[in-house]
Amino acid sequence: MRDFTNKTIMITGASSGIGEGLAYKLAMSGANLILMARSGDKLKKLKEKLEQDYPIICTYYIVDLSNSASWESCLSKIEANHLTIDAMINNAGFGIFDAVEDADYQDIEKMFHVNVLALIKGIHYFLPHFIKRKQGHIINIASFAGKISTPKSSAYSASKHAVLGFSNALRLEVEKQGVYVTTVNLGPVRTNFFDAADPTGRYQKSVKRFMIEPEQVVDQITKSLFRKKREINLPRWMEFGSRLYHILPGFAERILRNQFSKK
Ligand SMILES: NC(=O)c1ccc[n+]([C@@H]2O[C@H](COP(=O)([O-])OP(=O)(O)OC[C@H]3O[C@@H](n4cnc5c(N)ncnc54)[C@H](OP(=O)(O)O)[C@@H]3O)[C@@H](O)[C@H]2O)c1
| pLDDT (0 to 100) of residue 257 | 81
> Is 258 a residue whose pLDDT tops 90?
no
Going 29 to 12 to 183 to 198, the CA torsion angle's sign is: positive
Of ligand 1's listed atoms, the one at least distance from the Cα of 94 is 47
Distance (Å, whole) CA 262 – CA 210:
12
| 69 Cα: distance to centroid of ligand 1 (angstroms) | 20
> Over the stretch 96-107, which tens digit does the pLDDT of each residue have?
999 999 999 999
Of ligand 1's listed atoms, the one at least distance from the Cα of 43 is 40
> Over the stretch 41-89, which tens digit does the pLDDT of each residue have?
999 999 999 999 999 999 999 999 999 999 999 999 999 999 999 999 9
| pLDDT (0 to 100) of residue 92 | 98
* Amino acid letter, 78: I
Distance (Å, whole) CA 96 – CA 111:
8
| pLDDT (0 to 100) of residue 55 | 98
Distance (Å, whole) CA 152 – CA 174:
35
Q: Is 156 noted as a catalytic residue in this protein?
A: yes
Distance (Å, whole) CA 85 – CA 8:
5
Parallel/antiparallel/unpaired status of strands 179-186 and 58-62: unpaired
Instruction: Tell me which of 252 and 132 has the higher pLDDT.
Output: 132
- Going along the chain from its start, the domains and CATH numbers come out as 8-237 (3.40.50.720)
What are the backbone dihedrals phi and psi of residue 143, each rounded to the nearest 5 degrees, phi first? 180, 160
| 18 Cα: distance to centroid of ligand 1 (angstroms) | 8
| High-pLDDT (> 90) share of the chain, % | 90
> Over the stretch 134-168, which tens digit does the pLDDT of each residue have?
999 999 999 999 999 999 999 999 999 999 999 99
Going 100 to 120 to 198 to 148, the CA torsion angle's sign is: positive
> Over the stretch 216-237, which tens digit does the pLDDT of each residue have?
999 999 999 999 999 999 999 9
Say if residues 171 and 128 touch (Cβ distance below 8 Å): no
